[in-house]
């Protein structure tokens, strides 16, 4: 088992940011500055396709989860993303995706196939990262763990949550169902699922089919008017409250 | 124009409860006890079928809206409900509904027809009530007004919000679309719309069709796993936050 190595630390706005590696996988752990050594629930976040562990969307959501929920928040770079090398296969898939986009052809089949391959690699990386994070005294082996990932973060998150019993609540969304239905049916923990009602990339029925597939007794669909990239910021606030409700964190700031 | 007559007042848990009448229509106004004379946004709430203005669901939601949002909250009895007399037509519709339920036949066609008739009566009653409430100094003629009503509260709320420009945000849900589509298309204010994903009374596609019909640029569907009467309590918290976001109230309590 790889242990977690911290490689850098900084602090701002009440949040401590610590870069780490687990084996070859680079990650970042955000924690409340006031009590970064206190036990608190852990939220694993998956970034979107083409983004990385410290993308502004990740940093922004982490800031809310730390400040409003008191959580520890960890993100790792997906294979071929951020500080990780791209393979020849990554380059081929990305070139094919760009060609399809330039030609106005559907991106879905390429994204589904490429993200499914990334998920195969990423799920064991996340499990090793979680093993290592749980060695930290401020996280611990038996604390609550949630997951929050949209788009590529859902392509990886669905198979991860399906096989990882330590994750007990998840916020997911904005992904084609094609490669995910079987894993989604095996998930029984509470789910908050986001989709865009006027998504020009993912057909409405496809998004609804993925929500429908989750085996969870408690699952909530949040469908917002607007296109794929109009995904509204207030859903990040909703995700914080959902995770606080299920992981036992406290929401301290106004809505 | 009828003016508002207060008929009783009591106070508990930080909330002042004042019974009132506007003409023949009885209502209740809940306000923060600490500053019941302060200007604050007004939320109109519509109760469900067979319920009344002080049904526990109304009192519970009002408590959250007052305590967490600082709002004034008004509910009136729908025609034939609560302290209002039932007409011969009310009695016939209710008898027919109970017979259908006892026979295991669909309630939808009866509810749709009966609630559409109640809405015709209730919309002008709500407008007269709003006129009268806005005469109160703590509400005022130009303060923000929202609407929150599920089921019968939506059968009345959709035509009300469609014709009433003073209402600038609404939480609706759990109703057949049949009588409401045209009015829904005319609504352009922000909407939060609730449906139950496994509703045994209202088909899923029917609920989605009503959400789809709203003309609003900002609209959010909250679809929860479970049957019609499993509508989860945390959606009332979500409604408070939605109304606070759009009416400018403050949410002061934890998630």
- The residue among B78, B238, B110 whose CA lies nearest residue B169 is B238
CA of B204 vs chain A CAs: smallest distance (Å) = 11
Q: Quick one: closest CA in B to A241, which residue? A: B255
Which chain A residues are closer than 8 Å to B244 by Cβ?
Answer: 255
Interface of A with B (CB under 8 A): 197, 208, 211-212, 216-225, 232, 234, 238, 241, 244-245, 250-252, 254-255
Q: How far apart are CA A73 and CA A171, in angstroms?
A: 14
Which chain A residues are closer than 8 Å to B194 by Cβ?
Answer: none
- Please calculate the CA angle A112-A230-A187 and round it to the nearest 5 degrees: 45
| B234-247 and B56-69 helices, crossing angle to 10° | 50
Task: Tell me what ipTM this predicted complex has.
Answer: 0.89
Do residues B202 and B176 make contact, with C-beta atoms less than 8 angstroms apart?
A: yes
Q: Which domains does chain B have, with CATH numbers?
A: 4-84+112-247 (3.40.50.1820)
- The closest CB to that of A217, out of B225, B250, B251, belongs to B225
Which chain B residues are closer than 8 Å to A224 by Cβ?
Answer: 218-221
What is the band of B2 on the pLDDT scale with cuts at 50, 70, 90? confident
User: What average pLDDT does the segment B206-227 reach?
Assistant: 98
- The closest CB to that of A220, out of B224, B241, B250, belongs to B224
Do residues B79 and B28 make contact, with C-beta atoms less than 8 angstroms apart?
A: no
Q: Per-residue pLDDT tens for A98-115? A: 999 999 999 999 999 999
Within 8 A by CB and 6+ apart from A244, the residues are A68, A69, A250, A251, B255
pLDDT in tens, chain A (255 residues): 789 999 999 999 899 999 999 999 999 999 999 865 678 999 999 999 999 999 999 999 999 999 999 999 999 999 999 999 999 999 999 999 999 999 999 999 999 999 999 999 999 999 999 999 999 999 999 999 999 999 999 999 999 999 999 999 999 999 999 999 999 999 999 999 999 999 999 999 999 999 999 999 999 999 999 999 999 999 999 999 999 999 986 665 443
Q: How far apart are CA B30 and CA B138, in angstroms?
A: 12
Q: How far is CA B139 from CA B132, B145, B167, in A?
A: 10, 9, 14
pLDDT tops 50 at residue B254: no
- Under DSSP, the state recorded for A85 is P
- For an interface test with A, which of B184, B219, B220, B244 has the most A Cβ atoms less than 10 Å from its Cβ? B220
């Amino acid at each position: 088992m790889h242990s977690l190595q911290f490689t850098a630390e900084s602090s701002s706005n009440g949040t401590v940011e610590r870069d780490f590696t687990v084996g070859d996988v680079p990650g970042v752990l955000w924690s409340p500055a006031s009590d970064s050594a206190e036990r608190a629930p852990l939220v694993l976040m998956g970034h979107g396709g083409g983004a990385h562990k410290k993308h502004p969307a990740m940093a922004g959501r982490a800031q809310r989860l730390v400040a409003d929920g008191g959580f520890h928040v960890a993100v790792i770079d997906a294979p071929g993303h951020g500080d990780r090398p791209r393979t020849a296969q990554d380059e081929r898939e990305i070139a094919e995706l760009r060609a399809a986009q330039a030609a106005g052809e559907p991106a879905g089949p390429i994204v589904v196939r490429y993200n499914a391959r990334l998920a195969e690699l990423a799920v064991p990386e996340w499990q090793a990262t979680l093993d290592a994070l749980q060695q930290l005294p401020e996280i611990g082996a038996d604390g609550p763990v949630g997951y929050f990932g949209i788009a590529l973060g859902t392509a990886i998150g669905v198979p991860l949550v399906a096989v990882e019993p330590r994750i007990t609540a998840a916020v997911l969304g904005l992904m084609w169902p094609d490669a995910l239905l079987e894993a989604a049916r095996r998930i029984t923990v509470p789910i908050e699922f986001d989709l865009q009602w006027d998504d020009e990339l993912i057909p409405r029925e496809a998004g609804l089919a993925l929500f429908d597939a989750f085996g969870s007794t408690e699952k909530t669909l949040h469908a917002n008017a607007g296109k794929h990239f109009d995904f509204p910021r207030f859903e990040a606030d909703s995700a914080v409250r959902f995770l606080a409700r299920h992981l036992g964190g406290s929401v301290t700031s106004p809505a």
